[in-house]
Copies of this chain bind each other. A is one copy, B any other.
Amino acid sequence: MKTTFGEYIRLLRTEKDLTLTQLAAKLNLDSANLSKIENGIRDFDEKRLPKLANIFGLNLKELGEEYITDQLGKRIYETNCTKQLLKVAEEKAEYRRTLNKNLQTEKAV
């Protein structure tokens, strides 16, 4: 997916010929706020992902991955994080994983 999550929702919505008001209702959401979400002014609330998946018949896991990559991509963009720094960030994530592993085995003892 080469769009923002908001653009993706807009795509799904227009494909099905739904208005903002119609989709917003299905999502228990104000149409004004959905508009902001599609335009990237606000974030889609993670807890509505299951509903979104249902409405459009999408796989929840895949949709969730769209979501987190969008969120991360946004942070990467906002922090002007270069590829080089992103690599460092990835290593730090890896480090946290080993920390957690060690913690688990400690508990086991």
Contacts and interface: CB of A to CB of B under 8 A. Distances in A.
Interface string A1-40: 1111000000000000000000000000000000000000
Interface residues of A, number: 31
A55 interface: no
Contacts of A72: 72, 75-76, 79, 81, 86, 89, 92-93
A interface: dominant SS: helix
A97 interface: yes
A45 interface: no
Interface of A: 1-4, 65, 68-77, 79, 81, 83, 85-86, 88-93, 95-97, 99-100
